[in-house]
Amino acid sequence: METPTLQKIRRKASRLLEDRLLSTGTVLAIRKWDDSTFLEIDLHLPAADMTLWWEVPFIKFRVDDFTYRYYTPSGWDAETRTCTIYADTGHEGPGAAWIRQLQKLDTVYYIRIGTTHNHPGEVTNILALGDSSSLGHLLALGETLPQSVRFAGACLMERETDRLSLEAYFQPSVQAVAKQDPYGHYSLNEWLLQQRYSADNYCIYLAGNNVMVSGLHQLLRQQGHAASRLKVLNFWS
């Protein structure tokens, strides 16, 4: 059994190693949606080569000691090396707590930038469905597609104020869908049925919490959507 002194030494050594692996960025601005827990955070990441972001990227941020969370940047500018992350802080957890305490000009630390490796291939129509945790992913997906690809998205929003903000800022690229069941997959499925999209003409991306994504995936398969045309990304349980 380790003594408290040995634990302290081990923790300090791990922190020194961790610090050597981290890259830094700066918070440029923070915007709060009206009457909401939703925040937009503009970042400057001088070490990030955003010209490589031709697939949906993700950033693994340090949100506490030895604690990391993934966020999807969108709205990036490769020349200025700036981007925006979107976060709903209306729940408890180290990621939400970290976002809530950020202020303008704060330094942020991240250990990795990667991509989802979930490119749609040769298709002409993309439909992206997700919950509020996946808004950044939906927006980033739209940014990485060539202009020849038709893109449409729908995002679950529980609060009416958030739906109004989403519609004001991002419609028609991403539409707001009211969350009327516990996890939202029935709400998104009902919205999709109302749109009358052909199962043969679209590649559909599903992103968000595990229960919603798996439930919606099952519903779509039952309706005749081919598994090869369904792209899945689960964020959390």
All structural domains of the chain: 17-115 (2.40.30.10), 125-236 (3.40.50.80)
Q: What is the pLDDT of residue 233?
A: 82
Average pLDDT over residues 41-63: 97
Give the global pTM: 0.88
Q: What is the pLDDT of residue 130?
A: 96
Average pLDDT over residues 89-118: 93
Region for 26 from its dihedrals, namely left if φ exceeds 0, alpha if ψ lies in -120 to 50, beta otherwise: beta
Residues in contact with 24: Cβ distance below 8 Å, sequence separation at least 6, in sequence order: 46, 47, 107, 108, 109, 110
Q: What is the pLDDT of residue 124?
A: 87
- More confident of the two residues 127 and 91: 127
pLDDT tens sequence across 29-38: 999 999 899 9
Q: Which residue from 195, 61, 84 is spatially nearest to 129, judged by alpha carbons?
A: 195
- More confident of the two residues 118 and 79: 79
Q: Residue 9: pLDDT above 70?
A: no
Q: Which structure tokens are listed for 30?
A: 């923070």
3-state secondary structure at position 80: coil
Q: Which residue from 47, 151, 173, 49 is spatially nearest to 109, judged by alpha carbons?
A: 47
- Give the strand pairing for 57-64 and 67-71: antiparallel
Q: What is the pLDDT of residue 13?
A: 52
User: pLDDT band at 12, cuts 50/70/90?
Assistant: low
Q: Residue 173: pLDDT above 90?
A: no
Q: What is the pLDDT of residue 116?
A: 83
Q: Alpha-carbon distance 144 to 146, whole Å?
A: 7
Please state, rounded to an integer, the average pLDDT across all residues of the chain: 90
User: pLDDT band at 14, cuts 50/70/90?
Assistant: low
Q: Alpha-carbon distance 168 to 163, whole Å?
A: 9
Q: Which structure tokens are listed for 14?
A: 């791990």
The fraction of the chain above a pLDDT of 90, given in percent, is 70
Q: Alpha-carbon distance 17 to 46, whole Å?
A: 21
Q: What is the pLDDT of residue 194?
A: 93
Side-by-side strand order, sheet with 150-157: 174-178, 150-157, 125-130, 203-209, 230-236
Q: Alpha-carbon distance 202 to 219, whole Å?
A: 16
Q: Which residue from 198, 43, 23, 195 is spatially nearest to 113, judged by alpha carbons?
A: 23
